[in-house]
Amino acid sequence: MQFRRVLLLIALVVSVAQLALAQTASERLEAVRKDPLRLRQFLEAMPKGGDLHNHLSGDVYAESFMQWAANDGFCIDDDKLAIVAKCEGTLVPAATALTSPLYQQMLDALSMRQFKGTMESGHDHFFATFSKFGAASRAHAADMMVEAVQRFGSENVDYLETIYAPDRGGASRLGFELTKGADFKSMRDQLLAGTSMKAVIADARKTLDDAEAAVKTQLKCGTPDAMAGCRVDVRIVDEVHRGIPREALFAELVVGFELASIDPRVVGINPVMPEDGYVSMTTFNDLMQMFAYLRPLYPNIRISTHAGELAPGLVPPEGLRFHIRDSVMIAKAERIGHGVDIARETNAPELLRTMAKRGVAVEICLTSNDVILGVRGKDHPLPMYLRNHVPVALASDDPGVSRIDLTNEFQRAVEEFGLTYAELKKLVRNSIEYSFLAGESLFVNHDYAKRACTASCDAFAEKNAKARVQLKLEKRLAEFEK
């Protein structure tokens, strides 16, 4: 009897001591804030919700593109340091390049690896990678998806909204058959009347089917050996290209809206390509007007735009004044990608208030803004958005090209901007709350203290994809904070 009492007493003392020792997640973060390696471990383990801004081909590492090029019998243009599908002349077979000094050069050319910026800008090098690996990325949609979801899953990201055009060029080709200079209505009517658009959409859906199937089999989903990527929910934001001729861009938009209307995997549209390019800058308003025309016809399809991915000097000062504003006010974008030049926009305080009021979220890509625009630290508007209560989510744009991951972006948010655990947690929750997942939110009015369901959240989550992913995230956060 006496012995059992002693044991009980010991157990009691131990658990009290454990309680006293148990740190909250916030204390754990503060304890490692100045220790980069331990901070990395903390942030990697932290559930990070979703990545809302990444380009599928940009998620992939150069090593994979080189391997696929070799497997496919592709070649390397060792002048341009680019992968080419057709081997001719003095081109080097990719298989040979794997074990030659060209391999290291190619890894650098296809990414920001070891980038020094002496002969070329980060901006030019970053954007040029996409065409250099284009031949390999076009042929490997499914493999790219497998690599992306597995890597994101491995760093505790549960949701991936990836920017990708599953039509692989088919939509823009339709544009070249349209009457040049025709108005929006007649161009859309032409597209809807023909059979070519249906074929392009069917082909795009097949690409997504194949990618989905590849994830399932290659990651062994649904089996006891299921890999980390299996728990990642994926949605596609269809990319349209702002630097191509008007009719081709319009055709891409119509295909995107039509595709998203019939395929629940495609949830939104996003215009891509360098915002400072000649066509992007000179036809910016045309793109806004296209959105203004098409959005009411497809009210359920969501819009995020690359806007304000600009910096002083990159374009004339006038060019920094209206891209975010017009995207919000004319295109009615629900999210802004980057938003770096916000402080230079006309009447920025009012624009920030509008964004906060309407819940227009900003996808913040710290490394991308650093390497492409040279904007970092005190020059970055992240604190400005936070101060003005504009919803913010951190995104990777893009882990393969920049050779980073989403954890890295969280680390920058802590090290460069001093964010606390509570602030990071809010950004994590934002990444699902402001995602384009269908269905209702788990929360009322974006208030993470107020749930839309009380007793039977599981039943509610069953009916709403967004709430389902949110409920999963809340459980994971609670587990992490234990």
What are the residues binding Zn ion (CB under 5 A)? 397
- C-beta of residue 277 within 8 angstroms of C-beta of residue 312: no
Nearest to 233 by CA among 35, 436, 440: 436
Give the nearest distance from C-beta 287 to Zn ion in angstroms: 15
Residue 443 phi, psi dihedral angles, 5° rounding: -115, 155
Q: Which residue's entry shows tokens 């009322």?
A: 444
Shortest Cβ distance from residue 114 to Zn ion (Å)?
A: 22
CB of 49 to Zn ion, least distance (A): 18
CA distances from 2 to 6, 8, 204, 312, 411 (A): 6, 10, 75, 78, 53
Q: Would you give the end-to-end CA distance of the chain in angstroms?
A: 34
Q: What is the C-alpha to C-alpha distance for residues 333 and 329, in angstroms, rounded to an integer?
A: 8
> Minimum distance from CB of 439 to Zn ion (Å)?
26
CB 230 within 8 A of CB 153: yes
| Nearer to Zn ion (CB atom), residue 47 or residue 399 | 399
Residue with smaller CB distance to Zn ion, 132 or 306: 306
Which structure tokens are listed for 282? Answer: 């000179």
Residue 56 vs 149, nearer CB to Zn ion = 56
DSSP string, 367-413: HHIIIII---GGGSSHHHHHHTT--EEE--S-HHHHT--HHHHHHHH
Nearest approach, Cβ of residue 95 and Zn ion (Å):
32
Which residues sit opposite 394 in a β-bridge? Answer: 364
> Residue 110, CB half-sphere, CA atoms under 13 Å: how many?
32
59 vs 397 by CB, closer to Zn ion: 397
d(CA 54, CA 156): 16
Minimum CB separation of residue 356 from Zn ion in Å reads 23
In this complex, which beta carbon is closest to Zn ion, that of residue 370 or of residue 397? 397
**Token code pair at residue 314:** 């990159």
Closer CB to Zn ion, residue 161 or residue 474?
161
User: Measured from the CB of residue 366, what is the shortest distance to Zn ion in angstroms?
Assistant: 13
* CB count in 10 Å sphere of residue 316: 10
Q: Which is nearer to Zn ion, 47 or 274 (CB)?
A: 274
In terms of CB distance, is 338 or 468 closer to Zn ion? 338
315, β-bridge pairs: 312
246-262 vs 284-294: helix axis angle to the nearest 10?
Answer: 30
* Matching residue, tokens 């992240």: 382
Residue nearest to Zn ion (CB): 397
**Least distance in angstroms from the C-beta of 101 to Zn ion:** 32
